[in-house]
Structure formats: structure tokens, C-alpha cells
Amino acid sequence: MSDPEGETLRSTFPSYMAEGERLYLCGEFSKAAQSFSNALYLQDGDKNCLVARSKCFLKMGDLERSLKDAEASLQSDPAFCKGILQKAETLYTMGDFEFALVFYHRGYKLRPDREFRVGIQKAQEAINNSVGSPSSIKLENKGDLSFLSKQAENIKAQQKPQPMKHLLHPTKGEPKWKASLKSEKTVRQLLGELYVDKEYLEKLLLDEDLIKGTMKGGLTVEDLIMTGINYLDTHSNFWRQQKPIYARERDRKLMQEKWLRDHKRRPSQTAHYILKSLEDIDMLLTSGSAEGSLQKAEKVLKKVLEWNKEEVPNKDELVGNLYSCIGNAQIELGQMEAALQSHRKDLEIAKEYDLPDAKSRALDNIGRVFARVGKFQQAIDT
């Protein structure tokens, strides 16, 4: 996407908006996003334009930028219903169903119309369909798939198993975001130990003689294998919101960009330590070591608090970010009260030093804690 600053814009804000809307309806999402970017260059921060561009990014599979624009549209007007709906839609697409539900409810409270009502229903349905502990299903590489029989029998009448090619490789017409959601790295992180089981089941599908076999009740071995794979794929979307990878990576990238922009030079040894530590904290949490992530974040926080602002010019922002990391780890460990306190400290710092991005992050995380413990009304009111 070209930079509007690098070219002379020869049209007006309404013209670029109209052009973007026309291109969007024609399915030219990248070109539409460029038109909306041109419009924003002429009228920075226009909330309707931000939502329009967010929709383009969502169609293009750029979920981080879609969420960023949706959140930006709410900066000046937190009750902007179009922005709330777009944020909810993006969160839902990311697989963050509980938090999406919070924003659907928040929007419905402001404007009780069909879009928010449908959003509430689909988010609630996604949560209901996804909730369940994967620990109860531990596959062993012994070739015995009888443990899947009961589940397969219940599902077969309602759902025809997906073709193997569609499951293992995204189809040609499949949107990029669907392919990215199933990237090996992300799926490995989300499934943890169960990723080995998924690989094993996929290898079994390559044995044509095996999958032609039948079980009691007329079920084929292929049906049983597909039931197991479909189970893991369906639940990985829900587990995604249990480990909000997108949000943590976005915060870390923003911190790095701001650090380099403020210093306008190669980062110092201190900067390298901070950026590397934030990356380590994120990787530990993503890999399932919440305890390790918490210990690392607390250690770095203690060290940062000892430094002065000459060593760390954006010390306040960094401290808030670390409290956010601590809170995220505490959520994973089930320490909800402690997590709430950590995210509230992040919010206090954001308010004191007028950090809008940090404030949005803290409010989102506080809402996430309330949603996790079932206090949806408090999450909506956050």
C-alpha cells in the first residue's frame, strides 16, 4: 500500500470515501483500503473512515490492522456503535469469542438492533461449542481409534466429514486469514502436546487402505480420524483467545517502534535488554509457561523501577506494559484477582501520563478478566 505522504493527493475527502466504498463493494479490498488511507490523510482520525478501512483489512486477513483501526475509531467516541461493532467482528474473527461477546453486548446496550443481536448469538454459540477441556482426549500412537466411535456416531448424522484436502491445505479460494489461522506455528502453540496427536491423525489419512476400513455401526476409519481432527481444529479457535497472541505481539511491536523513534538511533544496550526481555516474556506465555513469563516480567519490572528516566525515557509506558504482561500471565495461572490489580495499575499509569493506546489495552484486559470469571455486565461497563 503506497504512502499518501509520498504522493500528491488530487481529490477531496468525500471523493476518496466514495471511491473506497465503491471499490469495497466490488471486492477490491486492497485498493479500497488505499482510498480510505488517502481520505484519512486529508481528514485524520475520521471515525467512519477508520471503520471503513478496518473492514477492508478484515477482508484482506490483516487482523492486527483491522483491530487497530477499529480501536482508533473509538478513541474520541467510545460509544460509537459502528466502531464497537467492527471491533467485535474483528475479535470474533480472531477467535476471541468471549471478548467479542462483551463488545456485542456493549453495542446492543447502546443500539439494540439486529447486527448486535446476531453478534451476541453467534459469539455465545461459538463459546458454547468450544468450551471443553482438551485434556480428556489424549491420543496414543497405537492405531486404536475406538475411543472416537461414540463421538463420531453423534456427529455423523449432523455433519459430513470435510474432505482431507480441504482440511490439510487451504483451498484456492479460501481467504488468507483462514490459512493464516491454521499456520503450523500458531496451531502448534495453541494445541501444545495435542499437536503431536493432530500430526499422527493427519498421517493416518495418507494410508488409503486403512481409511477404507469400517468399524461397528458402519462408520469408516476415515470418519473416525476426521472426527478427531475436526475436534482439534474447532477447539483451536477457542484456545486462541485463551492465549491472546495478537494483542501481546502488537504491544511489543508498538513499544519497539516508539523506542526507536524516540531515540532516532541504534538502540542502546539497555534498549536491547528491554526489547529482548519483552520478547522472552511473550514467548514464555505463548509456549504455555505462564509461571516463567510471570517470573521474568516481575524480574524485569523490578530492574526497570530502579532506573531513572535518563536511562529509560519512556519508563512510565514500559512499567505499564510490564504490569500488563504480569496481568496476562496471572490470567493464565487462574489468579484473576491479582490479574485485575495488575491491569488496573496499567490503567492508572495510562491515565496519569495520557497514554491512549495503553489505556485502551488496560481497559480491554480488565474487561477480559471480568469476562473470564463470568461477570459479563461488569465487562460491558468497563
Instruction: Please check whether residues 278 and 200 belong to one and the same domain.
Output: no
- The number of domains in the chain is 3
> Would residue 18 count as lying in a domain?
yes
Residues 88 and 50 in one domain: yes
Task: Tell me which residue range forms the domain holding 56.
Answer: 13-131
Q: 217 and 271: one domain?
A: no
Tens digits of pLDDT across the chain (382 residues)? 655 554 556 789 999 999 999 999 999 999 999 999 999 999 999 999 999 999 999 999 999 999 999 999 999 899 999 999 999 999 999 988 888 999 999 999 999 888 999 899 888 888 877 654 334 344 444 444 444 444 444 544 444 444 434 334 444 444 443 444 345 656 665 666 567 777 778 888 888 877 777 766 667 778 778 877 777 776 565 555 444 444 555 555 555 555 555 544 445 678 788 888 888 898 888 777 889 999 999 999 999 998 888 777 788 989 999 999 999 999 888 899 999 999 999 999 999 988 888 888 888 889 888 877 877 777 777 6
DSSP 114-172: HHHHHHHHHHHHHHHHH-S-GGG----TTS--GGGHHHHHHHHTT-PPPPHHHHHS--T
Closest CA to 56 of 43, 47, 69, 44: 69
Q: What pLDDT is attached to residue 230?
A: 75
Residue 138 located in a structural domain: no
Other C-beta atoms closer than 10 Å to the C-beta of 104 total: 28
275 and 225 fall within a common domain = no
Dig out the grid coordinates for 369 from the structure. Answer: 478478566
Residue-level pLDDT at 89: 95
Give yes or no: residues 374 and 320 share one domain: yes
Asked if 306 and 270 count as a contact pair (C-beta separation under 8 A), the reply is no
Residue that is written with C-alpha cell 466490488 in the block: 26
220 has which bridge partners?
A: 214
Asked if the structure places residue 76 within a domain, the reply is yes
DSSP 11: S
Which DSSP state fits 314? T
273 with 326, same domain: the answer is yes
